[in-house]
Amino acid sequence: MSDLTKIPPHIEQELSRRNFLSCAGMLAVSFSSIAPPAFAQGSAGPYPDPNFRQLDSWIVIHQDNTATFHVGKTDCGQGTGTAFRQMMCDELDIAYDKTNLIMGSTDTTVDQGGSGGSDAIQVDGWPMRRVAAEARRVLLEMGSQKLGVPVGQLTVADAVVSVKAEPSKKVTYGELIGGRRFNVALTGGDVNATTGTAKVKPVQELKLVGKSPQRYDIPPKVDGSLKWAVDMKAPGMVHARNVKPPVAGAKLVSIDESSVRNLPGFVKVVSKGNYVAVVCEREEQAIAASRQLKVNWQKPDTAPFPASEDLFRYMRAATPTSSGRPVTLGDCAAALAGAARVLEADYEIPFQGHTALAPAHAMADPSNGQMTIYSNDMKSYGMRDGIAKFLGMPRDRVRVVWMEGPQGFGRTAADDAGFEAAWLAKELNRPVRVQWMRHEETAWDTKGPAFACKLRGGLDAQGNLIAFEYESQACDHNHVGYNEAETVLISQLMGTRKSPPNRGGGAVPDDSYAIPNRRMVSHVVGLPLIWETPLRTGNLRDPNGPQVTFASESFIDEMAAAAKADPVAFRMKLLTSGTGDDSGFKRARAIACVKAAAEAYGWDARPAPKRVGSGEILTGRGIAYSFRSQTVVAEIAEVEVNRRAGHVWVRRLVCAHDCGLVINPEGLRRTTECGMLHSLSRALKEEVTFDTEKVTSVDWTSHPTLTHLDSPARIDVVLVNGDPNPNRPDLPHYGGGETICKPMLAAVGNAIFDATGVRLRRVPFRDARVLSALKAAGV
Amino acid sequence: MTLKVNGNTHTVDVDPATPLLYILRNDLGLQGPRFGCGSGQCGACTVIVKGNAVRSCITPASAIRDEVTTLEGLAVGGKLHPVQQAWIDEQVPQCGFCQNGQIMTAKVLLDKNPNPTDEQIRTGMANTLCRCMTYYRIQAAIKRAAKARA
Ligand code: FES
Ligand code: FES
């Protein structure tokens, strides 16, 4: 490739670390002084796995006294890359702006799994800190030899080792090792356990952690200079577009290639099983050809699914395909039988899409017997394995180069386009770029499972919550795996049938409430069509959390209202009347968060609902709390409900957030604001609709999303450190992201109840649904 | 056909019915505008023509008679446009994919109305979508840019 600017600078740098002159024309880039990473032995292909037990795989020190960090993660838009750099800089003792970071390319970064589970900081941050501490230890030893002074008499600042008593005696990291390998072996049973012999620093000695350096990835996103995965091109590259079955489960009967053969730029129609793609020289030609191609499909004999308006009836009647083991405490049935007051309610959450701002896309280059996929796949390592298996190629001839893309909220954990691009590139033996169309993505992306939940609760005569029963059906019997060769859509369309399918797990509420009697159980149910279906489910940002928490935290509010208790006080009583706590002190931190949220909001204690006023706009506020893994949040929504239009505007949001040690407070605030709004979109707008043949919500009109008009006027994010020993030197850093998404649906529903006295038990709270509920209640 | 983009004149050999987006991205190497929906619903592909925000995914190249400005053309002499600077100062983007549309639409909004009210910002930006939901910070950044330009 003559124009190297087509390759992003960080990718170019990565590529230059390896001598690929023999491998692929487009990879023939200049050598640099950077030492190559360490690889596992005995690999024949061009892409052996970087060895996580070698320090050189993680950290490279350059002659100019700068450093490059290599980590096996990807950034979905939360600025985790900046946070990794902060943590590693602190442990290595190097200035932030003297470093850069490379993420997620399978041949040059160790496999830390990419992203998922909001565990980047909580789990993967630890090996990063430890290897950086180990590099510092090794460099200090080298400095000791060079300066002829014992390590104990040395100090290090900004990558310069100096003698404490004689600061003019000094040597830089670059002088000690620049451009050469460490050749230091690390230990650890798996990548998460990777460690050297050095210890990480106590929290009090961290200088960058807790500060908010600006995200390094933002300027190139703002000035247009960043090259994204959508921008990748290669010489001889062609463009492909898919032609999806018009009806779910349809069988391909025939393709009339003559319908497009004479179109300009036409290259080929490629198909296998029910997978069909059209390939053309230019992008707009491929789009035109995919629209014009005549394909004869045969509808399935039985309907693939019920229509969306019948979904919950269907789910409630369906025989579970699997059930979780009930979580029980005390004797729930007896407690309900003896309760002074029993409440029962059904909550419903429809399928919701991932619907990234841009559809799935990837470019694959098959030159010289290898396969490189340029992709925004969040789990690039799994994608590499999945594609190698799908194509029947050795793993070490396949690599995935991760590049930035539209945030997919879990969509790219099963990134169809990468598999399609690779398969087409192999078929055509030339580079292929695939991008889905909007209607295709919105209809066929993976879906967050629909939930039907039934809750029962009992109060004693004093208004104490003494029994809590939860039972749910989750429509999640065809959960796609992570970039699995058997379950990505192209594979299913080609006829692969993984048996049994990956059933989803269902889920039950998680909280630290002291309720003496509980019974909680979840079931999974399936739709008639399991394979090749647009209603296949996947992990949607905090899988199951928003659904289950909508039901449980709304119902807790119902119980509070029945007890005529203030919703904050009711929750505080349930939290504080418990004894003991888990190792992460979640109960103590929940108390701190609920308190902090109420204080930040200016919560005045009173039962809900507020007395409904007479004006056109009714206002109210609602709270909900939740945790995920070790991170705790409490959120408050303040709403305006237009009683004539049924329109809900959330005008203010508060979040109290406790994820332990915060690496970058400003970054976390942004993530929190945006995570709350994403869940607000699920509360107010998002629903997948379908008839008995196909998904009918296919674009931003039929599958609406939150817009600028819906943005709250004010958002307060309070970062809480509710640890009982908040200044401990080993304060852990937990995951910041997905917990934020859990309580919002309930907080909004609770606020609408406060404003109107009407309890909405089905999201989204679109105008028509709210209006009819208000009318039915005479509000 | 001939297109003037960011001060440069280009001659391209394409079907004039081709949406401008694909010519900018694939022929001229200008990748600020991006594909989000292809149907004028999201704004990811926005460029500026004659002071108006234009959705290049639904605009045939043949309809373009005037100079096109893309995100890459906003900075002058290496100095970022105040809207871009406000985006960095406010740390607006999450993934950033939509931000071309947000920045270009905001620039046009401020050119037409240098001191917009909150309501005018909301309505002016209403059809420019962000799935990361950076709306709150975008609105703050627009106010910041308005101040910086005043
Ligand atoms: S891509 Fe043009 S408006 Fe969405
Ligand atoms: S920042 Fe990700 S879509 Fe807007």
Helix (H/G/I), strand (E/B), else coil: A98: helix
Choose the final residue of a domain: B22, B56, B73.
B73
Residues A378, A483: contact at Cβ < 8 Å?
no
pLDDT band at A11 (very low <50, low <70, confident <90, very high): low
Q: What is the pLDDT of residue A12?
A: 52
Q: What is the pLDDT of residue A21?
A: 26
Q: Is B14 on the interface with A (CB under 8 A)?
A: yes
Q: Is B148 on the interface with A (CB under 8 A)?
A: no
Query: Is residue A540 predicted with pLDDT exceeding 90?
Result: yes
CATH number of the domain where residue B65 is located? 3.10.20.30
Task: Give the other-Cβ count within 10 Å of B78's Cβ.
Answer: 6
Q: Which residues of chain B have pLDDT under 70?
A: none
pLDDT, tens digit, 9 for 90 and up, residues A721-775: 999 999 999 999 999 889 999 999 999 999 999 999 999 999 999 999 999 999 9
Q: What is the pLDDT of residue A503?
A: 82
pLDDT, tens digit, 9 for 90 and up, residues A289-342: 999 999 999 999 999 999 999 999 999 999 999 999 999 999 999 999 999 999
Question: Are B107 and B124 found together in one domain?
Answer: yes
Q: Say how many Å lie between the CA of residue A69 and the centre of ligand 2.
A: 26
d(CA A734, CA A172): 34
Question: Are B54 and B93 found together in one domain?
Answer: no
Region of A256 on the Ramachandran plot (φ > 0 left; ψ -120 to 50 alpha; else beta): beta
Q: What is the pLDDT of residue A663?
A: 97
Q: Is B135 on the interface with A (CB under 8 A)?
A: yes
A356 CA closest ligand 2 atom index: 3
Q: Say how many Å lie between the CA of residue B33 and the centre of ligand 1.
A: 9
Residues B96, A221: contact at Cβ < 8 Å?
yes
pLDDT, tens digit, 9 for 90 and up, residues A406-433: 999 999 999 999 999 999 999 999 999 9
B101 CA closest ligand 1 atom index: 3
Query: CA of A600: how far to CAs of A295, A715, A719, in Å?
Result: 59, 11, 11
**Whole-number mean pLDDT of chain A?**
94
Query: Is residue A17 predicted with pLDDT exceeding 60?
Result: no
CA A596: distance to chain centroid? Answer: 27
pLDDT, tens digit, 9 for 90 and up, residues A102-132: 999 999 999 999 988 888 899 999 999 999 9
Q: Is B116 on the interface with A (CB under 8 A)?
A: no
Query: Is residue A402 predicted with pLDDT exceeding 80?
Result: yes
d(CA A551, CA A453): 7
Beta bridge partners of A326: none
Question: Are B14 and B65 found together in one domain?
Answer: yes
A39 versus A619: the higher-pLDDT residue is: A619
Q: Is B46 on the interface with A (CB under 8 A)?
A: no
Mean pLDDT of A495-513: 91
DSSP-derived secondary structure for chain B:
-EEEETTEEEE--S-TTSBHHHIIIIIS---SS--S-SSSSS-TTEEEETTEEEEGGGSBGGG--S-EE-GGGSSBTTBPPHHHHHHHHTT--SS-TTHHHHHHHHHHHHHH-SS--HHHHHHHHTT---TT--HHHHHHHHHHHHHHH-
Residues of B in contact with A357 (CB under 8 A): 36, 42, 44, 95, 97-98, 129-132
CA distance A439 to chain B (A): 8
Residues of A in contact with B53 (CB under 8 A): none
Query: CA of A435: how far to CAs of A2, A432, B38, in Å?
Result: 25, 10, 12
Task: Give the other-Cβ count within 10 Å of A152's Cβ.
Answer: 8
pLDDT, tens digit, 9 for 90 and up, residues A344-382: 999 999 999 999 999 999 999 999 999 999 999 999 999
Q: How many domains does chain B have?
A: 2
Question: Are B69 and B86 found together in one domain?
Answer: no
Kindly tell me the number of DSSP H helices and DSSP E strands found in chain A.
18, 27
Q: What is the pLDDT of residue A461?
A: 98
Best of A357, A650, A671 to mutate (most B CBs within 10 Å, chain B): A357
Question: Are B54 and B91 found together in one domain?
Answer: no
Domain that holds residue B53: 2-73
Locate the DSSP E strands across A76-207. 99-103, 154-157, 160-163, 166-172
Which of A78, A231, A264 is facing B94, going by the closest CB pair? A78
Question: Which ligand lies nearest the alpha carbon of B94?
Answer: 2
pLDDT band at A505 (very low <50, low <70, confident <90, very high): confident
Q: What is the pLDDT of residue B122?
A: 98
CA distance B70 to chain A (A): 9
Closest to A370 measured CA to CA, from A26, A750, A718? A26
Question: Are B56 and B91 found together in one domain?
Answer: no
Choose the final residue of a domain: B53, B73, B93.
B73
Ligand 1 pocket mutation, candidates B20, B25, B47, B55, criterion most atoms within 8 A of CB:
B55
Residues of B in contact with A736 (CB under 8 A): none
- Could you tell me if the CB of B33 is within 6 A of ligand 1? no
Q: What is the pLDDT of residue A23?
A: 29
- The four Cα atoms A722, A725, A729, A735 give a dihedral, to 10 degrees, of -30
Nearest residue on chain A to B30, alpha-carbon basis: A224
Which region among A11-25, A184-198, A612-626 has the lowest average model confidence (pLDDT)?
A11-25
Phi/psi at A488 (5° precision): -65, 155
Q: Angle A466-A468-A469 (CA atoms, 0-180°, nearest 5)?
A: 145
Q: Is B134 on the interface with A (CB under 8 A)?
A: yes
What is the ipTM metric for this complex?
0.98
Query: CA of A415: how far to CAs of A374, A479, A481, A716, in Å?
Result: 12, 14, 10, 35
Query: Position A655: which residue type?
Result: C
Which domains does chain A show, CATH number per domain?
4-224 (3.30.365.10), 231-301+360-435 (3.30.365.10), 308-353+446-525 (3.30.365.10), 547-776 (3.30.365.10)
